[in-house]
Structure 1
């Protein structure tokens, strides 16, 4: 065996000691730190039993641990513009320098760094290799710092820092964050100090020679400088997602002109390089410039509507724009609108005032702003401003009242009178056409058919032009009297020209029809509207609408009995499908549809409705509505089978209930087959994970029949839900104060 230094080639002397299954080599002298060595086992080594172990040489290399070195520092070497609120100065070594210890023993450990200029603060070993110094009062601005680690520092392996290590960094030099007035400001105050915002205190003496405020004529504005404290959160940094990461305060220096600035004047503020920091040697490297305009004297510059407008909008606000920011209270005190509106709402911008009110159509208005209205600096307008305009007439409109569902019901015993809402339509033409029940069913369910429907000329019953009374500028309700119409279905169109058209299907009948239906039955009750008595022997046709063929599918319902009732099974796959019925005889016409169900549906009365006619009725609930992650959700429920005879039964042994729970993203997180009690009830629980998603969780119970082949046929289902949130229970603190400090037993103590 030999060991040699790779760099020098020298062989390392030492002794070899045989061990069971190997050997031990002890160098005669310590190996050189950081050096690389090669170990060599010559060929032909034999075991204690004489067996040859290797036919070729065995070689390997290793490097001895080096001396202690500095691996990393912060702030980085030669860093510039380091912030003064930097919280740590640290050095990390390549080897452990100190052993693990308690916080109380930190004082006995070496303090490896020296900072120039000196800083008050505390240092500690963050781990065995990292030392951190926390400045007590931050860093000084515009200052060059040097940090030294003295030579001779030893590590835990016996290594030594051979030479002194030092690095330098410098803190922020003066910089201008901004100023008030802002660059580009149009309405600067004429009599307020200017403010310049620096990133640190600066020397006012050096600033006096660098700051200038110059007017448009090139003349400098004299003034005085003074310190103004700090402006919090003047500047903010953001990450790539636009989220604020940190903010900076600004140090204020005020420049107060000796006299107010000229109204309407343009000024340029400059700060030249060379402004010195109040502490340290740093100076402002870049110049700063801001140009702004002083608010001009107040005057009214623009109005909406404009003066003399003859058709001012009825929906836009009255807008007044001034040359300068105004004292809006004084503007409102000096504003007159004639004729005066009954209700008015206002809003203001920097130089704009808006008044919202409902102007009268086709009316002369006069707006007066008194000369006493002042701007934000107390200067009055000095003269009255008068604005006159005329509002536009209202936009003509025409509508039949009650056409939201395209059809209306009318009594055949009296004149058919249709309400018309209109404005600006002195003459309206109308046309009335007969319709067939099948067409009406399509018109009420197929928008495209309704939109393009054109009645045949042979179906025309009557048409005429009528004059509508009243002021053309006022919306009115008037009646279109069509006279006594024969029972039947009609199509009414009203037309005022210029595209003002409305239409309606009219169902005229002497009978009132009530329809009630389920998934497989229909109940109809017919009553004469003149006598209120039931109508017997009324032959009825029912129809459902097929959305695939876009056609109604009629079937015979039968005739009403002596009570005016007909009830029969109906071939309806879905009870929510639109349903229609009408009479087969034209002389005893009646019409009804489920589309007229608005206001009389079960949910209008807070009642549940199951148009699927499920045989399963159940309820599912949890012990509370909201949970936190890692909590248990306790679930209970009960179910019954609906016998459809106003009675319910318990599930049998041949029925099972399966529960699934889904998270807010729709993923199934729990499923089980529930064990039903003799009362058809069940309970189970769910342990929420620590990382449970927040939101609403769905619970679904499916009840099935099990057959002899152990297969399940679903009967029905019911649902529930609960929420998961990182909520916190509300905490309340009540403080009470005794009326006196001491009491004797039995006395009453008043508390507040």
Structure 2
């Protein structure tokens, strides 16, 4: 039984302490926001323990009691929580700081007088020692291998290269046959053909190679066995085009070691006749009086080339003439092509009569087109074609790419490019009205973009005033779905 009573007392004290801790925390919080008067809290436990706390408030504390407390509750002898209120005391003011004594820095003489008053610093004999450097560490490792050699090195006479004896032979030569370009000519022998000397000395010697037809250039030895020839000209840095060259090394040619060529060595190489590199017009449709432009891979005589050019349409041949400077300057495309072309490799011309409309125009160059670099002419026809403009018409109309989901654009293509400067959006009407419709013109294509709705059939009407770059209009209004 007493054990149970002791247990109850212990539980009671624990609950009282927890209640006091909670109340004390609450009062601490109130003291931070309340006025300054002191709040004294007294806790008396059953065992006689008393804890008092004095808190400062910033405002008057008002206590309201609804019912009077019993007389026995006024005594602090009873266990429980007791609150005692009282007036707070004034807080002590901060202590005044003592004034700093006036001071002034000492001059050098005064400082030295104070230092002289200090006792002499005693030193031991071992305090003074010679400078001792630390033990040197190993040097960092270096890559490679150190090889010891004598200087100056011994001069070992190199053995003379073996020289092939017997008759002189031509080991190889180039170029040979039909080639697109010939920048140089090389011949290699099996025995030395020239002594080791300067380039000036070698250039003064006769060379054992003959080129037909003769061309200006420089012969030079690459070593003692290989002979090279480079064509020399202010206009080109290669052998002339449209030319067949014959190279001969005559029999009896002798090497530096006495070898003799038993039989003559002869071969040929050939550079091509004029080849068309670019031309204009190269797209369709074109006007009925276009300006023609042709560029070749070599220098040509425009007047001579013009005689080998023919222009045909609908089975009829149209005479051509050279274009004037004013006509070339008036055509921006041809003018740009001429500026980028090498000198003397192009010509511009036009027909003396207008070409038929809506027709295929064929331009044939050659055969027999000559070159200004060599005598060879073309053996085959080089040709190109284009189409002249026809009446303006619609050649394609679609929505998107076939499925036509909502918001897909309408695409309308014509056979001729439209005149963007004269284009008027009022020439295009859409039914029902298309919200946010935007009409764009890209050459021969109209694109209509807008908020198209699903399950809706739109009709696009093109006015008869719609005009192309050739001044043509639609014959009549046209409606597309």
TM-score under structure 2 normalisation?
Answer: 0.52
Q: 1:319 deviation in Å?
A: 0.7
- In 2, the alpha carbon distance for the partners of 1:213 and 1:387 equals 39
**Structure 2 counterpart of 1:252, from 307, 321, 346:** 346
Q: 1:384 deviation in Å?
A: 6.3
- In 1, the alpha carbon distance for the partners of 2:469 and 2:216 equals 50
Tell me: CA distance 1:158–1:292, structure 2 relative to 1, closer, same or farther (3 Å). Answer: same
- In 2, the alpha carbon distance for the partners of 1:68 and 1:388 equals 85
Name the counterpart of 1:118: 214
Q: Does 1:323 align with 2:420?
A: no
Equivalent positions of 1:167-246 (< 5 A) are: 167-177=267-277, 179-182=279-282, 186-203=284-301, 207=305, 210-216=308-314, 218-225=315-322
Higher percent of residues as helix: 2
Q: Does 1:142 align with 2:255?
A: no
Tell me: CA distance 1:148–1:295, structure 2 relative to 1, closer, same or farther (3 Å). Answer: same
Name the counterpart of 1:354: 447
- In 2, the alpha carbon distance for the partners of 1:263 and 1:385 equals 23
Q: 1:196 deviation in Å?
A: 3.8
**Structure 1 counterpart of 2:372, from 260, 272, 278:** 278
Tell me: CA distance 1:64–1:278, structure 2 relative to 1, closer, same or farther (3 Å). Answer: closer
Unaligned runs of 5+ in 1: 1-62, 235-247, 390-752
For the Cα contact (< 8 Å) 2:194–2:202, is it kept in 1? no
- In 2, the alpha carbon distance for the partners of 1:249 and 1:180 equals 18
Name the counterpart of 1:514: none
Name the counterpart of 1:88: 184
For the Cα contact (< 8 Å) 1:231–1:249, is it kept in 2? no
Q: 1:92 deviation in Å?
A: 0.9
**Structure 1 counterpart of 2:436, from 308, 317, 342:** 342
- C-alpha RMSD of the superposition: 4.1
- In 2, the alpha carbon distance for the partners of 1:174 and 1:303 equals 45
For the Cα contact (< 8 Å) 2:425–2:439, is it kept in 1? no
- 1:250-276 Cα offsets, whole Å, 9 max, x none, are 943333012332221233333442233
Secondary structure at the counterpart of residue 220 of structure 1: strand
For the Cα contact (< 8 Å) 2:364–2:382, is it kept in 1? yes
For the Cα contact (< 8 Å) 2:427–2:465, is it kept in 1? no
Tell me: CA distance 1:334–1:118, structure 2 relative to 1, closer, same or farther (3 Å). Answer: farther
For the Cα contact (< 8 Å) 1:337–1:365, is it kept in 2? no
Tell me: CA distance 1:333–1:135, structure 2 relative to 1, closer, same or farther (3 Å). Answer: farther
Tell me: CA distance 1:291–1:380, structure 2 relative to 1, closer, same or farther (3 Å). Answer: closer
For the Cα contact (< 8 Å) 2:297–2:345, is it kept in 1? yes
Tell me: CA distance 1:127–1:369, structure 2 relative to 1, closer, same or farther (3 Å). Answer: farther
Name the counterpart of 1:299: 393
Q: 1:354 deviation in Å?
A: 2.3
For the Cα contact (< 8 Å) 1:68–1:159, is it kept in 2? yes
Name the counterpart of 1:600: none
Tell me: CA distance 1:99–1:296, structure 2 relative to 1, closer, same or farther (3 Å). Answer: same
Tell me: CA distance 1:269–1:98, structure 2 relative to 1, closer, same or farther (3 Å). Answer: same
- 1:34-85 Cα offsets, whole Å, 9 max, x none, are xxxxxxxxxxxxxxxxxxxxxxxxxxxxx98222222211112xx23552xx
**Structure 2 counterpart of 1:73, from 173, 176, 190:** 173
Tell me: CA distance 1:249–1:187, structure 2 relative to 1, closer, same or farther (3 Å). Answer: farther
Name the counterpart of 1:60: none
Q: 1:351 deviation in Å?
A: 2.9
Greater relative CO (CA pairs within 8 A, separation 6+): 2
Name the counterpart of 1:161: 261
Q: 1:151 deviation in Å?
A: 5.3
Secondary structure at the counterpart of residue 290 of structure 2: coil
- In 2, the alpha carbon distance for the partners of 1:277 and 1:283 equals 7
Secondary structure at the counterpart of residue 317 of structure 2: coil
- 1:439-472 Cα offsets, whole Å, 9 max, x none, are xxxxxxxxxxxxxxxxxxxxxxxxxxxxxxxxxx
- In 2, the alpha carbon distance for the partners of 1:125 and 1:109 equals 10
- In 1, the alpha carbon distance for the partners of 2:425 and 2:354 equals 28
Secondary structure at the counterpart of residue 412 of structure 2: strand
- In 2, the alpha carbon distance for the partners of 1:332 and 1:128 equals 79
Tell me: CA distance 1:161–1:275, structure 2 relative to 1, closer, same or farther (3 Å). Answer: same
Tell me: CA distance 1:213–1:107, structure 2 relative to 1, closer, same or farther (3 Å). Answer: closer
Q: 1:193 deviation in Å?
A: 1.9
Equivalent positions of 1:449-528 (< 5 A) are: none
For the Cα contact (< 8 Å) 1:230–1:249, is it kept in 2? no
Tell me: CA distance 1:385–1:102, structure 2 relative to 1, closer, same or farther (3 Å). Answer: farther
Tell me: CA distance 1:347–1:326, structure 2 relative to 1, closer, same or farther (3 Å). Answer: closer
Q: 1:203 deviation in Å?
A: 5.0
Unaligned runs of 5+ in 2: 1-162, 325-333
- In 2, the alpha carbon distance for the partners of 1:173 and 1:230 equals 26
- In 2, the alpha carbon distance for the partners of 1:296 and 1:289 equals 23
- In 1, the alpha carbon distance for the partners of 2:336 and 2:477 equals 44
Secondary structure at the counterpart of residue 387 of structure 1: strand
Q: 1:122 deviation in Å?
A: 2.5
- In 1, the alpha carbon distance for the partners of 2:263 and 2:480 equals 90
Tell me: CA distance 1:124–1:231, structure 2 relative to 1, closer, same or farther (3 Å). Answer: farther
Structure with the greater alpha carbon radius of gyration? 2
- In 2, the alpha carbon distance for the partners of 1:151 and 1:384 equals 85
Q: 1:336 deviation in Å?
A: 3.8
Tell me: CA distance 1:369–1:101, structure 2 relative to 1, closer, same or farther (3 Å). Answer: farther
For the Cα contact (< 8 Å) 1:368–1:384, is it kept in 2? no
Tell me: CA distance 1:249–1:384, structure 2 relative to 1, closer, same or farther (3 Å). Answer: farther
For the Cα contact (< 8 Å) 1:300–1:385, is it kept in 2? no
For the Cα contact (< 8 Å) 1:179–1:194, is it kept in 2? yes
TM-score under structure 1 normalisation?
Answer: 0.35
- In 1, the alpha carbon distance for the partners of 2:463 and 2:192 equals 83
